[in-house]
Structure 1
Amino acid sequence: MTGATMPETATAPKVELPPFGRFFLPGPTEVLPEVLEAQVGPMIGHRGPDLQKLMARIQPGLQDVFRTRRPVYVSASSATGLMEAAIRNGVRRKVLCLVNGAFSERFFKIARACGLEADALEVPWGEAHTPDMLEDALRGKDYDAVTVVHCETSTGVLNPIADLARVAHAAGDVAILVDCVSSLAGAPVLADEWGLDFALAGSQKCLAIPPGLAVGVAQEHMLERAAAKKDRGVYFDFLEFERNLEKGETPNTPAVSLLYALAVQLDRIRAETMEARWARHEAMARRTWQWVDEMRDRGIELSILAREGYRSPTVTTIRPPAGWTGPKLAAALRERGYTIATGYGKMKEETFRIGHMGDHTVAELEELLGVIEEVLAR
């Protein structure tokens, strides 16, 4: 149009990042500045050599994190999307869902919503499922799949996944479908060695990049199950993930900016080594548990929800002393520049959660614990 002028280009204000080491949610976790900055890379075509090169860089790191030789699916979705993928591709007729918290209950609800016959094997929040429980539940039944959450983020319980997988497979043609959302890259997940038929996670927990990606690995025999399912859907079709990965692509438009961040973070994780990363998470968890004991010795009655032997190295759920609630404590810490989580779901008021995951250190955790102690001692 004659005489038309282009509007002036707006300059986005530079965002000032808060000091690292004060954000202890159990997801989304804190993201390092260099990982955040990686997202400003240029847009690239998602059906061509640029994406193929990026996916080729990412795959070895993801395989290392999952400890698998299988290709790892990358989905532009939350982890809940791949929970639905697990159900739609991996359950033939009837599924047993191990429920011990909010996220394992989500797996059960997804199975029902997908029109499948599903039963819940429930234990109280704060408890784990044991191999004996699963063996009894499978005996004489016609389940062909089991769902389980490795680390139940709502309770801080770590289920004994290797043992549960062994029991599931001993029962016959029973697939085990595992939510590793808050354990992957923080606790050992050995997908091939443990025989996890499908394992999934999200980007915003121990992987420590922004939310928006889900990753998962299916053992090869699961593709036969998927192929036999006529209602496996489109967006989360295992066969489409496989076909596209052979070309170094994704089935649908990828979240390119998040892939840049993932590539940088996987390089960092491999430099640290998985063994060192697991050890760092374990050290943070043990320091948290020790601190709870120390506080109790000083007359501040804290208690850990999960029983010893079944505690997660990535998140601890704690009951506060009398006169405190999870939201009240979280609000008091926000006033001091620190972020922790309230309880989740039905335990929102009666617990608080510390996410000692991602790229945090014991030293940063010590500062947080000191601030919590000051608040509770007022």
Structure 2
Amino acid sequence: MHDLIDFGKYFLPGPTEVRPELLRAMDRPVIGHRGPEMEALMERIQPRLRRLFRTDRPVYVSTSSATGLMEAAIRNCAPERVLSLVCGAFSERFHKIAVTCGRQAERLDVEPGDSNEPGPLIEALEGGGFDAVTVVHSETSTGVLNPIAEIAGAVRQASPDTLVLVDCVTSIAAAPVETREWGLDFALTGSQKGMALPPGLAFGAASQRAYDRSREIPGRGLYFSFDAFEAATSKNQTPNTPASSLIFALDVQLERIEAEGLEARWARHREMAERTWRWVDEMRDRHGVELEVLAAEGRRSPSVTCVKVPEGLSGVEITRRMGQRGFTIAAGYGKLRESTFRIGHMGDHTLDELEALLENLTGVITGKR
């Protein structure tokens, strides 16, 4: 199966392409998850995860998707009332999780392609009484980058006891995320996005006050209990049987990320994003094709770009024809399926690989080559 897609041509906005050396790292015998080998492995991994999250708190390692830790955030941090900032499909998912967990969940919506901003949030919080605010940093369905530092500051200003729960799934390891400095109470991500690993692991960092609050909340469950994560992490373990093969790859990838340098990694993602945005302008200026980046300037994600197509073009058809050329991109998500397509320029991709993709996209859209 691994020969079906040539390396360097897989640009989904998750799961991202995985380097061969990371796949090889998984090809080793399983070890006992309560033995000294696993403890040594987790001891090596934990400080590097903290540096990645920019926190001095433990980073939880969960064998689940990131959605699992979204539910953990609700169950551990919000006993009653939640305010969800919704700007796309995945921020809406956070809201739905709160509802299905039995919380009183209100939502503050903006149109797809728009960002959540501090002003309306402050107004919504003035009534008080919210245990937590949920928000997505990089909204994968629209390519919007929300101003999380400003949003967290607005929550502290308007409602100091309200916790800030942030989905950083397509921002950690791809864009600046300052968990400690910004005062994020829970930041989470998955292995298959900016970290460029196979799916199956999720990571989360809880502030001290979020952890303290979690211990007072009844009915938070067992598998995703912050208490269980804290106890296991203190012993260089995981609460439950982990996906050990993925942790072997995580060990190698964290070493690669630190060798590149986190700031350099952020800069590479920014460079790929800006090249993609220029390409959209070039399609309009040189070829007369009225493409448009859905997200506004200054609010665009460095890891995924959502491109709006004019009437007469189909995001689904463009995606299909790129597949015929051996490249994988994504159609729009949900209601945007036909009217947009998405490019995931994240993980370990290079600018040269992106240039090859954009050249082929130009050919597909203009009907040339």
TM-score relative to the length of structure 1: 0.95
The superposition leaves residues 204-260 of structure 1 with CA deviations (integer Å, 9 ceiling, x where unpaired) of 001000000000000111122111111111100000000011111011100000000
Q: Quote the offset at 1:321 in angstroms.
A: 3.2
Distance 1:161 1:80 in 2: 19
Tell me, yes or no, if structure 1 residue 219 matches structure 2 residue 207: yes
Q: Which runs of 4+ in 1 moved over 6 A?
A: none
Structure 1 residues 239-250: aligned runs within 5 Å:
239-250=227-238
Distance 1:324 1:38 in 2: 42
Tell me, yes or no, if structure 1 residue 31 matches structure 2 residue 4: no
Tell me, yes or no, if structure 1 residue 265 matches structure 2 residue 253: yes
Partner of 2:304: 315
Tell me, yes or no, if structure 1 residue 373 matches structure 2 residue 362: yes
Tell me, yes or no, if structure 1 residue 163 matches structure 2 residue 156: no
RMSD: 1.1
Unaligned residue ranges in structure 2 (runs of 5+): none
Partner of 2:338: 349
Q: Quote the offset at 1:19 in angstroms.
A: 3.0
Partner of 1:203: 191
Identity %: 59
Tell me, yes or no, if structure 1 residue 293 matches structure 2 residue 275: no
Q: Is the 8 A contact 2:165 2:184 kept in 1?
A: yes
Q: Is the 8 A contact 2:310 2:339 kept in 1?
A: no
Structure 1 residues 133-144: aligned runs within 5 Å:
133-144=120-131
Correspondence for 2:162 among 142, 167, 174: 174
Partner of 1:66: 53
TM-score relative to the length of structure 2: 0.97
Q: Quote the offset at 1:58 in angstroms.
A: 1.1
DSSP 3-state at the match of 1:25: coil
Q: Quote the offset at 1:141 in angstroms.
A: 2.5
Unaligned residue ranges in structure 1 (runs of 5+): 1-13
Distance 2:7 2:264 in 1: 21
DSSP 3-state at the match of 2:166: strand
Tell me, yes or no, if structure 1 residue 306 matches structure 2 residue 268: no
Distance 1:112 1:248 in 2: 34
Q: Is the 8 A contact 2:132 2:162 kept in 1?
A: yes
Q: Quote the offset at 1:93 in angstroms.
A: 1.9
The superposition leaves residues 30-56 of structure 1 with CA deviations (integer Å, 9 ceiling, x where unpaired) of 000000111112111111211101111
Distance 2:130 2:21 in 1: 46
The superposition leaves residues 67-105 of structure 1 with CA deviations (integer Å, 9 ceiling, x where unpaired) of 111110000000000000000001132110000100000
Partner of 1:194: 182
Partner of 1:11: none
What is the number of residues matched between the two proteins? 365
Counterpart amino acid of 1:242?
A: E
Partner of 2:321: 332
Distance 1:24 1:233 in 2: 36
Counterpart amino acid of 1:241?
A: F
Distance 1:126 1:185 in 2: 23
Q: Is the 8 A contact 1:102 1:154 kept in 2?
A: yes
Distance 2:241 2:140 in 1: 29
Distance 1:352 1:107 in 2: 23
Counterpart amino acid of 2:91?
A: S
The structure having more radius of gyration, on CA atoms, is 1
DSSP 3-state at the match of 2:208: coil
Partner of 1:7: none
Q: Quote the offset at 1:18 in angstroms.
A: 4.1
Q: Is the 8 A contact 1:96 1:147 kept in 2?
A: yes
Partner of 2:267: 279
| Greater Cα offset, 267-276 or 137-146 | 137-146
Distance 2:120 2:292 in 1: 26
Distance 2:37 2:49 in 1: 19
DSSP 3-state at the match of 2:79: coil
Tell me, yes or no, if structure 1 residue 95 matches structure 2 residue 82: yes
The superposition leaves residues 2-47 of structure 1 with CA deviations (integer Å, 9 ceiling, x where unpaired) of xxxxxxxxxxxx9547432100000000000000111112111111
Q: Quote the offset at 1:322 in angstroms.
A: 3.0
DSSP 3-state at the match of 1:228: coil
Distance 2:219 2:67 in 1: 18
